[in-house]
Structure 1
Amino acid sequence: MFLYPAIDLLGGRCVRLRQGDYSRETVFSDDPAAVARQWVSQGADRLHVVDLDGAKAGTPVNGEVIRRIVGAAGVPVQLGGGIRTDADLDAVFSWGIRWAVLGSKALKDPAWLLAAAHKHPGRIVLGLDAKDGYVATEGWLDVSRVKAVDLARRVQDAPLAAVVATDIATDGMMAGPNFAALAELKAAISLPVIASGGVSSADDVLRLAQAGLPGAIIGRALYEGAIDLGSVLQLVRATAVPDRRLL
């Protein structure tokens, strides 16, 4: 199982939101690159970065900060937030990003998502942000009437790297993931499913591993000390076989 410490960027700073609400932010650091080095020093072999400004603007915004994170981390970085054109993809890959997470544009233009996946095989991740099972877009500001599972089924045969499944109701709330929704998605598609939202304890991580989830993104629980990254990495590496599709 792979763990992805999360670095969410707003105004160039490392923050965490509660349930995707931009008015409920907690600032954890003015130096996101230092945060990246911190997680890598504790054993992280990959990072998950979200450009929250980009998600609202519809195009990546924090490019300079993201380039510093990539340079400081020295490990593969996954990036989401505002990536909606071929030019955006070319830009983020030029910054050294390994995987690009596509969310809003994937719902509005699945054909573009499929074309991007074939152009960049193994480097595109479908970001499924869901509220009550329905896909949310535009930085979680809009909720569609498309079920997350249905969108995932529609594109699962493309050469995507994975699906990041985020339950908005649990994100940042330190109350545990939506295990039922994750199980439903995992059973519905063949792509690797990376859990995101609500992971708040080592027990949560172990339960995800035991359920066969190949990856999990952890945010607030790391920043508030509820999860010790080094310890939980040792736990999952001892109990779960990594999914090589995520290498």
Structure 2
Amino acid sequence: MFIFPAIDLLNGRAVRLRQGDYSRETVFSDDPAAVARKWVELGADRIHVVDLDGAKAGKPVNGTVIQSIVSAAGVPVQLGGGLRTDQDLETVFGWGVRWAVLGTRALQAPDWTRAVANRYPERIVLGVDAKGGYVATEGWLEVSRTKATDLARQVSDAPLAAVVYTDIAKDGMMSGPNFEALVEMKNATPLPVIASGGVCELGHVRRLIDEGIPGCIIGRALYEGTLDLAAALSLSRKSESPKS
């Protein structure tokens, strides 16, 4: 199982939001690159970054900070937030980002998502952010009429790297993942499913492994100390790892 420590960027700082609400922000660091180094020193072999400003603006915003994270981490970085054009993808891959997460644009243009997945095989990740089982877009400010599982099925034939599934109700709330929705997503697509939102204790990591979920993103729990990254990584590496 793969574990991605999360770094969410807002105004150049590392923050966490509750349920995607920009008015419910907690600032954890003014130096996101130092945060990345810390997670790597504790054993992380990949980092998940979200450009929250980019998600609202519809284009990458925190470029300088993202490049500093890539340089400081020295491990593969996965980036989401506002990536909606061919130029956006060319730009972030030029920054050294390994995987690009597509959310809003994937819903709006599934054919384009398939096309860029074929252009960048195994480097495009489908970001499915759901509220009540339906896809949320525009930095979680809008909820569509498309079911999360239906969106995943639409593009499952493309050479995507994975699906990041986030239940907004769980994100940043320290209440545990939506295991049922994650299993439903796993059963809906042949793509590897990465759990995001609510993972806050070792038992959650263990259950995700038991449910056959091949990856998870952990944020607030690491910053607040309710989950020890080294212990989570040790547990995850005892399970059989899928291909990277």
Using structure 1 for the length normalisation, give the TM-score.
0.98
The whole-number CA distance in structure 2 between the counterparts of 1:176 and 1:107 is: 26
- Aligned residue for 1:50, secondary structure, equals strand
Deviations 1:120-164 (A, max 9, x none): 000000000000000000000000000000010111010000000
Residue 128 of structure 1: aligned partner:
128
Residue 57 of structure 1: aligned partner:
57
The whole-number CA distance in structure 2 between the counterparts of 1:188 and 1:84 is: 24
The whole-number CA distance in structure 1 between the counterparts of 2:118 and 2:89 is: 13
The whole-number CA distance in structure 1 between the counterparts of 2:107 and 2:194 is: 18
> Partner letter of residue 241 of structure 1?
E
- Aligned residue for 1:33, secondary structure, equals helix
Q: How far did residue 75 of structure 1 move?
A: 0.1
The whole-number CA distance in structure 2 between the counterparts of 1:225 and 1:16 is: 14
Q: How far did residue 39 of structure 1 move?
A: 0.2
- Aligned residue for 1:7, secondary structure, equals strand
The whole-number CA distance in structure 1 between the counterparts of 2:232 and 2:58 is: 35
Q: How far did residue 232 of structure 1 move?
A: 1.2
The whole-number CA distance in structure 2 between the counterparts of 1:89 and 1:187 is: 29
The whole-number CA distance in structure 1 between the counterparts of 2:167 and 2:242 is: 22
- Aligned residue for 1:105, secondary structure, equals helix
How many residue pairs end up in the alignment?
Answer: 244
Q: How far did residue 235 of structure 1 move?
A: 1.3
The whole-number CA distance in structure 2 between the counterparts of 1:147 and 1:234 is: 35
Give me the identity figure in percent. 70
The whole-number CA distance in structure 2 between the counterparts of 1:50 and 1:236 is: 23
Provide structure 1 residue ranges, at least 5 long, that are not aligned to the other structure. Answer: none
Residue pairs, 1:176-195, within 5 angstroms? 176-195=176-195
Q: Which moved more, 1:228-237 or 1:24-33?
A: 228-237
Residue pairs, 1:1-247, within 5 angstroms? 1-238=1-238, 240-244=239-243, 247=244
RMSD (CA atoms)? 0.4
Q: How far did residue 165 of structure 1 move?
A: 0.2
> Partner letter of residue 126 of structure 1?
L
Using structure 2 for the length normalisation, give the TM-score.
1.00
The whole-number CA distance in structure 1 between the counterparts of 2:235 and 2:194 is: 18
> Partner letter of residue 157 of structure 1?
D
Q: How far did residue 231 of structure 1 move?
A: 1.1
- Aligned residue for 2:43, secondary structure, equals coil
The whole-number CA distance in structure 1 between the counterparts of 2:195 and 2:159 is: 19
Deviations 1:20-74 (A, max 9, x none): 0000000000000000000000000000000000000000000000000000000
The whole-number CA distance in structure 2 between the counterparts of 1:124 and 1:236 is: 23
Q: How far did residue 188 of structure 1 move?
A: 1.2
